[in-house]
């Protein structure tokens, strides 16, 4: 009897904490999303789909969806392209490539808040590093974080700077898995460098690219820390990404119903992305070792 | 390794320093007096660190971060290893379903549980406590999945020999599986620790009491609530930022290889 119980005892602590803090909350969110509650009032009446309707007819949601999509569409390809180029240079083992890898990887394990604070200074109007450099070149001050067009680009830059090192490390591992003979054969055939990159490297690191593409898109849709520290979603909603909107509705306005409805919508979107990813990877990638 | 071209090595060093220059420069600023900084002069001081630790409570925040990240790592890695052992070595009714539920958490974005966790912890009075910071962060599906794959690679004959000698399952786990999975466990523990150390949104909503702020919350508040009138006191903020970066940076330099091996093992099989 006890023998049969053993595996259940081993998995119990993990399963209980997953149930309590991941699965039950999903159901709770669904329930809260069809109610009206401000955290203080004694009852929470059922309001049907009103929270969803309100959200879908609000300018904030569509703005937020647009800004987040823009952020993902602009930042992810940039990150991956840069990372692949740098990785294919750094893939050869040597002291200087190890040194550079370390430097590039460092930001991805550093505190996001610190990085957001440091770059708030870098891009600050009066005392910032970038404007100081522009100043010595004889150019005027730019209001990086106060300009609705530039602020999003600043966030894209900071996100790329922080995360690229991770992509590079993953790409290097992917590149090292490509058999050397293929390159040797290509060089016997007199293939030029760009040609070899295009015809051998790119297709063979496709599985790695898909992996990174999907996790970075999912991650981009959940960006919060740099937004909260650097711009608070501003100026004028120009960087008001989805999780930031969720935080504002749920924990600043304490509109629990509408916040939960937004959480559910974002959840459906991200799970759909994750499922789409496993479909695509299942179908299109033949090169998996 | 090929013999080094000193020119290339020098170039790489400069490129690396340029890349990191914003952070390096922020450390430099943290040693400047505020007056000198705004006047564009030089003036070395340790005063900013004194103020961050004394007046602005950063010693306490550092302690809080260590306690919270330490306990999350301890419980997280223990729970994940135990579950991984069961998933790797036992076939039991419902086992596949439970394993599936564990792996599925990798796809579930964490923000969905933000509001419900806040409400349920408020109900049991655990907001503004260490437990409230720690509990929702303990379950780590990725670590459990990763360790299960690793443990499956350990020959089963080793377990069986131990069982023949009369060992109990817990002893097999502790005496055989854990020592043989040390690199994987170390990587995952490190991964959990760093994730928790840098975690922001949950501590932001779960804690209002200043004495329970983690470093991340303390730093964000310090920057947002400008201590200088209208102007941000950048030297002070940069001292606080350096305090926040430093512990993980030291850890990173010590264990870089483990960490890189860990994350690449997860991504490229």
**Per-residue pLDDT reduced to its tens digit, B64-99:** 999 999 999 999 999 999 999 999 999 999 999 999
How many angstroms separate the CA of residue B140 from the nearest CA in chain A? 8
Predicted local distance difference test score (pLDDT) of residue B70: 95
| B241: nearest CB among A21, A114, A246 | A114
| B111: nearest CB among A18, A21, A263 | A263
How many angstroms separate the CA of residue B26 from the nearest CA in chain A? 7
Chain A contact present for B80, CB below 8 A: yes
Task: State pLDDT tens for residues B128-172.
Answer: 999 999 999 999 999 999 999 999 999 999 999 999 998 899 999
Chain A contact present for B255, CB below 8 A: no
Within 45-74 of B, beta carbons closer than 8 Å to A belong to none
> b/e for A236-262, b at 16 or more Cβ within 10 A?
ebbbbbbbbbbbbbbbeeebbbbbbbb
Q: Which residues of B touch A267 (CB under 8 A)?
A: 108-109, 111-112
Which sign, positive or negative, has the C-alpha torsion A88, A94, A99, A105? positive
Domain that holds residue B37: 26-267
Chain B contact present for A2, CB below 8 A: no
**Which CATH number belongs to the domain containing residue B66 in this structure?**
1.10.3720.10
| Reported confidence tier of residue B3, pLDDT bands at 50, 70, 90 | low
Mean pLDDT of chain A: 87
Q: Which residues of B touch A161 (CB under 8 A)?
A: 19
A91 SS3 class: coil
The dihedrals phi and psi of A35, each to the nearest 5 degrees, come to -130, 165
Specify the number of domains making up chain B: 1
- The top-scoring range by mean pLDDT among A10-24, A226-240, B1-15 is A10-24
Q: Which residues of A touch B269 (CB under 8 A)?
A: 289
Mean pLDDT of chain B: 87
- Output the CA–CA distances (angstroms, integers) from residue A98 to A84, A201, A263, B155, B176, in the order listed: 16, 21, 42, 34, 34
Chain B contact present for A120, CB below 8 A: yes
- Output the CA–CA distances (angstroms, integers) from residue B98 to A263, A275, B49, in the order listed: 25, 19, 49
Predicted local distance difference test score (pLDDT) of residue B4: 64
Residue B111 contacts residue A68 (beta carbons within 8 Å): no
Within 15-34 of A, beta carbons closer than 8 Å to B belong to 15, 17-18, 20-26, 28-29, 32
**Structural domain contains residue B218:** yes
**What residues contact residue B241 under an 8 Å CB cut-off, 6+ apart?**
A114, A117, A118, B26, B30, B219
Size of interface A-B (CB pairs under 8 A): 252
How many angstroms separate the CA of residue B36 from the nearest CA in chain A? 13
- Output the CA–CA distances (angstroms, integers) from residue A177 to A193, A204, B123, B260, in the order listed: 19, 9, 51, 16
| Reported confidence tier of residue B118, pLDDT bands at 50, 70, 90 | very high
Dihedral, CA atoms, A40, B129, A12, B94, nearest 10 degrees? Answer: 30
User: B245 or B267, which is more confident?
Assistant: B245
Chain B contact present for A14, CB below 8 A: yes
| Reported confidence tier of residue A117, pLDDT bands at 50, 70, 90 | very high
pLDDT tops 90 at residue B267: no
Q: CA–CA separation, A272 vs A234, rounded Å?
A: 29
Within 174-233 of B, beta carbons closer than 8 Å to A belong to 194, 197-198, 200-201, 204-205, 215-216, 219-220, 223-224, 232
Flag if A166 and B200 touch (Cβ within 8 Å).
no
Q: Is the peptide bond before A167 cis (omega within 30 degrees of 0)?
A: no
| Reported confidence tier of residue B116, pLDDT bands at 50, 70, 90 | very high
* Two tokens, residue A194: 């760009």
pLDDT tops 60 at residue B223: yes
**Structural domain contains residue B20:** no
How many angstroms separate the CA of residue A177 from the nearest CA in chain B? 9
Q: Which residues of B touch A4 (CB under 8 A)?
A: 92
Q: CA–CA separation, A37 vs A34, rounded Å?
A: 10
What secondary structure does DSSP assign to B166-228, as a single string? T--HHHHIIIIIHHHTHHHHHHHHHHHHHHHHT--HHHHHH---GGG--HHHHHHHHHHS-SS
Q: What is the mean pLDDT of residues A272-282?
A: 73
Q: Which residues of A touch B9 (CB under 8 A)?
A: 95-96, 99
Predicted local distance difference test score (pLDDT) of residue B264: 64
Chain B contact present for A136, CB below 8 A: no
* Two tokens, residue B161: 């020999």
Predicted local distance difference test score (pLDDT) of residue B259: 63
Q: Is the ipTM beyond the 0.90 threshold?
A: no
Assigned architecture for domain A60-284: Orthogonal Bundle (1.10)
CB count within 10 Å of CB B24 equals 12
Q: H helices of B1-57, where?
A: 6-29, 34-39, 47-54
Domain boundary assignment for chain A:
60-284
pLDDT tops 50 at residue A96: yes
Q: What is the mean pLDDT of residues A256-273?
A: 92
pLDDT tops 50 at residue B229: no
Q: Which residues of B touch A231 (CB under 8 A)?
A: none
Q: Which residues of B touch A111 (CB under 8 A)?
A: 197-198, 215-216, 219, 244-245, 248
pLDDT tops 70 at residue A247: yes
pLDDT tops 90 at residue A46: no
pLDDT tops 90 at residue A288: no
| B201: nearest CB among A24, A218, A247 | A247
Bridge partner residues of B32 (DSSP) = B44
| Reported confidence tier of residue B261, pLDDT bands at 50, 70, 90 | low
| Reported confidence tier of residue B265, pLDDT bands at 50, 70, 90 | low
How many angstroms separate the CA of residue A217 from the nearest CA in chain B? 12
**Structural domain contains residue B11:** no
Predicted local distance difference test score (pLDDT) of residue B234: 87
């Amino acid at each position: 009897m006890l023998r049969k119980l053993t595996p259940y005892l081993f998995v119990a602590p993990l399963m209980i904490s997953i149930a309590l803090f991941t699965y039950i909350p999903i159901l709770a969110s669904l329930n809260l999303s069809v109610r009206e509650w401000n955290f203080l009032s004694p009852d929470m009446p059922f309001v049907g789909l009103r929270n969803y309707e309100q959200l879908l007819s609000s300018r904030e949601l569509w703005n937020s969806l647009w800004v987040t999509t823009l952020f993902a569409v602009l930042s992810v390809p940039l990150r991956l392209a840069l990372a692949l180029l740098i990785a294919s240079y750094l893939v050869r083992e040597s002291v200087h490539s190890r040194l550079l890898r370390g430097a590039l990887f460092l930001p991805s394990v550093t505190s996001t808040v610190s990085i957001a604070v440091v770059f708030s200074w870098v891009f600050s109007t009066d005392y910032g590093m970038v404007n100081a450099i522009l100043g010595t070149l004889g150019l005027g001050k730019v209001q990086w974080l106060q300009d609705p067009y530039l602020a999003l680009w600043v966030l894209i830059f900071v996100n790329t700077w922080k995360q690229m090192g991770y992509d590079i490390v993953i790409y290097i591992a992917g590149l090292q898995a490509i058999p050397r003979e293929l390159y040797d054969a290509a060089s016997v055939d007199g293939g030029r460098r760009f040609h070899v990159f295009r015809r051998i490297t790119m297709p063979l690191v496709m599985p790695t690219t898909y992996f990174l593409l999907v996790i970075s898109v999912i991650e981009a849709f959940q960006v919060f820390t740099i937004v909260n520290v650097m711009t608070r979603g501003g100026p004028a909603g120009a960087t008001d990404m989805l999780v930031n909107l969720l935080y504002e509705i749920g924990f600043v306005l304490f509109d629990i119903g509408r916040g939960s409805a937004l959480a559910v919508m974002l959840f459906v979107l991200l799970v759909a992305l994750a499922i789409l990813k496993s479909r695509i990877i299942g179908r299109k990638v033949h090169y998996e070792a | 390794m090929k013999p080094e071209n000193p020119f290339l090595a020098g170039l790489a060093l400069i490129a690396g320093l340029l890349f990191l220059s914003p952070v390096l420069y922020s450390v430099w600023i943290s040693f400047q007096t505020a007056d000198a900084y705004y006047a564009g002069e030089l003036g070395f001081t340790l005063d900013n660190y004194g103020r961050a630790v004394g007046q602005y409570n950063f010693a306490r925040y550092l302690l809080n971060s260590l306690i919270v990240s330490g306990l999350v790592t301890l419980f997280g890695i223990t729970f994940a290893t135990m579950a991984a052992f069961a998933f790797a070595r036992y076939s039991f009714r419902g086992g596949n379903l439970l394993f599936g539920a564990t792996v599925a958490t990798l796809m579930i974005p964490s923000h969905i549980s933000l509001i419900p966790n806040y409400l349920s912890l408020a109900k049991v009075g655990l907001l503004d406590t260490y437990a409230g910071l720690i509990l929702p962060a303990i379950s780590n599906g990725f670590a459990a999945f990763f360790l299960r794959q690793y443990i499956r690679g350990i020959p089963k004959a080793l377990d069986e020999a131990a069982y023949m000698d009369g060992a109990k399952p817990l002893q097999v786990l502790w005496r055989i599986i854990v020592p043989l999975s040390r690199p994987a466990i170390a990587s995952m523990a490190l991964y959990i620790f760093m994730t928790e150390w840098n975690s922001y949104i949950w501590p932001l909503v779960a804690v209002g009491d200043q004495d329970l702020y983690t470093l991340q919350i303390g730093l964000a508040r310090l920057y947002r609530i400008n201590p200088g009138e209208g102007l941000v006191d950048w030297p002070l903020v940069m001292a606080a930022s350096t305090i926040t970066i430093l512990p993980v940076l030291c850890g990173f330099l010590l264990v870089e290889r483990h960490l890189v091996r860990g994350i690449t093992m997860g991504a490229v099989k």
